[in-house]
Amino acid sequence: MTIPDLNLLATLDVLLAEGSVARAARRLRLSPSAMSRQLARLRDVLGDPLLVRAGRGLVPTPRALELREPVATLLRDATATLRPAGTLDLARLERSFTLRSSEGFVETFGPALVGRVAAEAPGVRLSFLLKPDRDSAPLRDGSVDLETGVIGAATGPEIRAQALFRDRFVGVVRAGHALAKGRVTAARYANGRHVGISRHGLDRGPLDEALAAQGLARQVTVLVGGFGAALALARGSDLIATVPERHCAALRQGLFSFPLPVALEAITVSLLWHPRLEADPAHRWLRGCVRAACVGVQGGL
């Protein structure tokens, strides 16, 4: 299918409005001969003379009269479409956004985010989904508008990212646990019973490598798929959970947390979105709300 030259629509609109090749040429800043060539192209494309001589002037054909209003409407709509986005009216914004994150993020930062969104744009609805992996497919297909997490190999190369905060892992036990008293050494930490966290069933990771460098190994007696389950088990048993400090601040309330006695690299939790939403005013506003919520919530020891 051959796509016609859509620039001819603007020429046709001026010709029909002016009813004169000379006046249309002046309005479009073309020479009379160039304007005549454009009219010839339009006649060829539409199969109609459009403007015919009547005495010393030109009059429109029935086909030209039929096209006048539809062409003007098309140009108005196209012009409106190609204008930059107008000012965002948050008070009247009605839209739904889906955010995906790991356990702990909504519990820690959700109340501040929901409160800000409700105050600024009461017509906006937020849906929070649990993030089972780092696959960027939901961002690509539009089923997820925003995502938080650590950038990894599975993150699509085209995905936009902005750092939200740095985080470190801490040990967490129930208030009456033996590690809640005295200095937590690497040996005391390793000798306890641990709950491991892995979405893929792996029972060994960077923490185990850091312990191995000191000739130590921890005993993982329970393996779970998320931070919430790990902290729930630590709350009701003598198991030791190791979780991100700020990310899980709300989930750690009432528990005893301590710095890890081994060196473990800090992580950067980022905000992720697809580039097609980069310039969307409402999406840009929501990204700002998420950043503000993360800045406003403190989750340290």
d(C-alpha 282, C-alpha 124), whole Å: 10
Average pLDDT of span 128-147:
92
The residue among 126 and 79 whose pLDDT is bigger is: 126
Residue 1 has pLDDT above 60, yes or no: no
CATH classification code of 169-265: 3.40.190.10
Residues with Cβ within 8 Å of residue 95, at least 6 apart in sequence: 123, 124, 125, 282
7-81, what's its fold? Arc Repressor Mutant, subunit A (1.10.10)
> What are the residues facing 91 on neighbouring strands?
none
Q: Please indicate whether the domains covering 7-81 and 169-265 agree at the CATH topology level.
A: no
Nearest Cα neighbor of 171 from 125, 239, 229 is 239
pLDDT of residue 275: 93
Per DSSP bridges, beta strands 267-273 and 146-149 are antiparallel
CATH number assigned to the domain with residue range 94-167+268-296, chosen from the 4 options 3.40.470.10, 3.40.50.300, 3.30.470.10, 3.40.190.10: 3.40.190.10
The 10s digit of each residue's pLDDT in 28-81 is 899 989 989 999 998 998 999 988 988 888 888 999 889 888 888 888 877 767
Q: Where are the domains of the chain?
A: 7-81, 94-167+268-296, 169-265
Please give the pLDDT value at position 237: 97
- The pLDDT of residue 85 is 63
The model's pTM: 0.72
Cβ-in-10-Å burial (0-12, 13-18, 19+) of 112 comes to: middle
